[in-house]
Amino acid sequence: MSAGRHAVTGNKDWCTPQRYVDAVKMVWGGKIDLDPCSSIFSVVNAKTEFLLPQTDGLFEEWNYPTVYVNPPYGIDRERGTTIRNWFAKISLSYQAYNNEIIALVPVATNTSHWKKYVYPIASAVCFLYDTRLKFVIGGTDDNKGAPMSCCVIYYGRDPSAFMGVFSSFGATLPLEGVMLPRMMNEHEQLDFCRLRVAANS
């Protein structure tokens, strides 16, 4: 389920297409233990599903071996949350329980939540080749498709298994050992700014 995607429809239930659910299950030997963002139209069929309004998956424990997440992409004004909260939950749960998590999310590589919760923590990513991914909305995929690019991110110990399956759907890259910008302290930032000014003068 994914709330807040109003560019295409006012419906908040944007469910994962069957072929991607099948791929996730293939990575994990045919099962998904938890879907924390489920809906009545979901085809994930995880062993445990959290559904609104009865259960808000963002505030439940994700202590399950495998977790598949198709989180709300926009702002949930009723609950005061955004997709950043879901990225934080994914990261914290992965580090706390050493489980495996696969997430279907929008490509937003310049955002703070990617910089904090994807690059330094995730194991692999697949940038989907679908130009307009057709989520299942209201039980059907007969729609114009998503207005944003999407990707699938893997957090876990076996990125090769993930990449072996998802390479069929797009450019799939390992993130383990990725080189990140070195964080500068305040003095280094000032020196850097001075060098930039000098170079441009």
For the entire predicted model, the pTM comes to 0.84
Digit-by-digit pLDDT tens for the chain (201 residues) are 443 334 333 445 788 999 999 999 999 999 999 999 999 999 999 999 999 888 999 999 999 999 999 998 888 888 889 999 999 999 999 999 999 999 999 999 999 999 999 999 999 999 999 888 888 777 666 667 677 899 999 999 999 999 999 999 999 999 988 888 876 555 555 554 555 454 444
Sketch the domain layout of the chain as residue ranges.
14-200
Q: Which CATH number describes the domain made up of 14-200?
A: 3.40.50
The DSSP symbol for 171 reads: E
**SS3 breakdown of the chain: % helix, strand, coil, rounded to 5?**
30, 20, 50
